[in-house]
Amino acid sequence: IYYDGATTAPKGSAGVRAITLGELSRISYEHTTAKESIEMLECLMAHSDELDPVTRRKASELYRDYERTHRVPIEEFVAHQQLCSEADSVWHEAKVKDDFSMFEPYLQKMFDSTKRMALYMEPDKRPYDTMLDNFERGLTASACDAFFDTLKKRLVPLMHKVVEHGDRVNDAPLRQSFPIAKQKELSSYLMDVMGIDRDHCILGETEHPFTTDFSKYDVRITTHYYENNFAASLYSVIHEGGHALYELHTGDELACSNLGRGASMAMHESQSRFYENIIGRSWEFCGLIFPFVKKEFSPLLDGVSDEEFYRMINKSSPSLIRLEADELTYCLHIMIRYRLERAMIDGSITAHDLPHEWNRLYKEYLGVDVPDDTHGVLQDSHWSGGSFGYFPSYAIGSAYGAQFMDAMRKDVDVDAVIRSGDLSPVVDWLTDKIYRFGMVKTPEQLIRDTCGAPFDPQFYVDYLTAKFTDIYGL
Ligand code: ZN
């Protein structure tokens, strides 16, 4: 229903869809908290040492869902779902009209409602920690602080040096008019290069690209085409394609169970951003796809060399829009959102303060002036859908990806594989180490088992430093 609403449903259907989704969440709540379900789960939990590991984990995850859900009063639970759907359609309109005041009361209600839900679920925990934990199990604000501090310390000085030498990379050829029909052919080519099974994954078009799945056999990704910026869709397709590969390669035996999906949001983002950036913006991958790109858009890029293409695709400059941010400045966009979410949840600012605070932090972190709320606080869909605590997953996932690449290089000659145009050894390695386990292993276990060590953001910082030092000749 959500996918339908974002793609083909008529605009006027939002109200009744909100009611429908509210009703479905009521049914879900009733099943999760039904006497029979609880008795079954309690029995399984009491005998957990007699269960095989997969069944044990299925049961413990369901039991955790139950424990958290049943503490929320049903009316509140349903009202929250309805509010999410309504706020989402108001946000769409507010963004188009550049009118934050329309959205402000909904946003405040969303924050308040999400905070109440967090307090019901985990009364003894700080609400923002519960929200982070909803997307990345065990993640806390203090862990985020330490992580972002590491990034800030190393990446902000690097970004300043890059800005000083901004003229060393020219991306003007990317700012021409690229026919949408040609861009669609490029999307199709990219899905083939990535080895995405088209019988089980389709590509749609939405304002904001996303991935959703009904099972590993029905995965849907979307993109958005801009005539004057084909790289936006190019990298959206690769990003969402990375999410899709994860879902498509979860173990068959987990299909249609509560474990048949990616381990967590950050783990999912580690895969999408791994493909988008570490693979997709690598020298080898740019070299692989550029002949097709050049031919497809001829004569627009005829005078551009392989090296120039690689460099322009990786041009770094502080900007307004997270989704269009380059690999280096991206995490600063996330840090801003993280700081604002925390401040909203602890009550030190209200929705009314957000545009001002947003613009202030963009100036402080990225040095840019925000011209209007459409290009500022209204740009992302996450808060309108109630996803508070999601943003850090992008940055943490990016850092997981760099650590995975270090491990992958010990087993696979990644550069040679990409140059060959057959990426299946990369997909096979990820399937073996990560994809097939779905939610059977936690993110922490996946990292330890794959990399032989706990999560360490140093890999990410080192990777970015080496890459941008090289591109900008610093
Ligand atoms: Zn993503």
Q: Write down the pLDDT at residue 78.
A: 87
Residue 175's pLDDT band, with cuts at 50, 70 and 90, is: very high
Q: Could you report the per-residue pLDDT of 243-252, keeping only the tens digit for each?
A: 999 999 999 9
Q: 116: Cβ–Cβ under 8 A, 6 or more apart, which residues? A: 76
User: Where are the strands (E) in 412-451, listed by range?
Assistant: none
Contacts of 205 (CB under 8 A, 6+ apart): 7, 222, 223, 224, 225
Separation of CA 337 and ligand 1 centre (Å): 16
How many angstroms separate the CA atoms of 378 and 382, rounded? Answer: 10
pLDDT digits (tens, 9 = 90+) for 320-355: 999 889 999 999 999 999 999 999 998 999 999 999
Q: Encode pLDDT of 264-321 as tens digits.
A: 999 999 999 999 999 999 999 999 999 999 999 999 999 999 999 999 999 999 999 9
pLDDT at 14 over 90: no
Cα-based angle 290, 291, 296 (whole degrees, multiple of 5):
95
CA–CA gap between residue 214 and residue 229 (Å, rounded):
31
C-alpha–C-alpha distance, residues 272 and 194, integer Å: 12
- Centre of ligand 1 to C-alpha 22, Å, is 25
- Both tokens of residue 224? 């958005």
Q: Which two tokens stand for residue 471?
A: 């591109």
271 CB neighbour count, 10 Å cutoff: 27
Ligand 1 centroid–CA 402 distance in Å is 16
Tokens 């056999």: give the residue: 217
Which has the minimum average pLDDT: 144-148, 206-210, 390-394, 396-400?
Answer: 206-210
Q: What is the structure's pLDDT at 413?
A: 98
State pLDDT tens for residues 117-166: 999 999 999 999 999 999 998 899 999 999 999 999 999 999 999 999 99
Residue 190 has pLDDT above 90, yes or no: yes
Nearest alpha carbon to residue 211 among 451, 3, 31, 463: 3
Task: Pinpoint the alpha helices (H) of 194-275.
Answer: 230-248, 265-273
Q: How far is the CA of 141 from the centre of ligand 1 (A)?
A: 21
State yes or no: pLDDT of 186 exceeds 90.
yes
Mean pLDDT computed over 456-461:
96
Say how far apart CA 402 and CA 406 lie, in whole Å. 6
Phi/psi of residue 212, each to 5°? -140, 155
Q: Structure tokens of 102?
A: 């329309």
Question: Cα of 374 to ligand 1 centre, how many Å?
Answer: 21
Question: Rounded to the nearest whole angstrom, what is the distance from the C-alpha of residue 397 to the centroid of ligand 1?
Answer: 9
Mean pLDDT of the chain: 95
For residue 22, the model assigns a pLDDT of: 84
- Residue 19 above 90 pLDDT? no
Which of 329, 287, 314 has the alpha carbon at shortest distance from 471? Answer: 314
Q: At which residue do the structure tokens 């497809």 appear?
A: 296
Contact between 320 and 328 under an 8 Å Cβ cutoff? The reply is no
pLDDT in tens, 200-230: 999 999 988 999 999 999 999 999 999 999 9
Residue type, 412: V
pLDDT, tens digit, 9 for 90 and up, residues 50-93: 999 999 999 999 999 898 888 999 899 889 988 988 898 899 89
> 0.85 cut: is pTM over it?
yes
Tokens 């740009």, residue located? 379
For ligand 1, the distance from its centroid to the CA atom of residue 302, given in whole angstroms, is 32
Mean pLDDT (whole number) for 395-405: 97
Question: 238: CA distance to ligand 1 center in Å?
Answer: 10
Spatial separation of the C-alpha atoms in residues 89 and 71, rounded to whole Å:
29
Catalytic residue among 104, 136, 240, 341: 240
Tokens of 303: 């005078």
Q: Sort 86 into a burial class: Cβ within 10 Å, 0-12 / 13-18 / 19+.
A: buried
Segments of 155-233 assigned E as strands:
201-205, 211-215, 218-223
Clarify whether 61 is annotated catalytic: no
> Hunting for tokens 């140059």 — which residue is that?
419
Mean of the pLDDT values across residues 27-46?
92
Query: Which residue would you say has higher pLDDT here, 193 or 67?
Result: 193
CA–centroid distance, residue 272 to ligand 1 (Å): 6
Bridge partners (DSSP) listed for residue 202: 220
The total number of residues written for the chain in this structure: 474
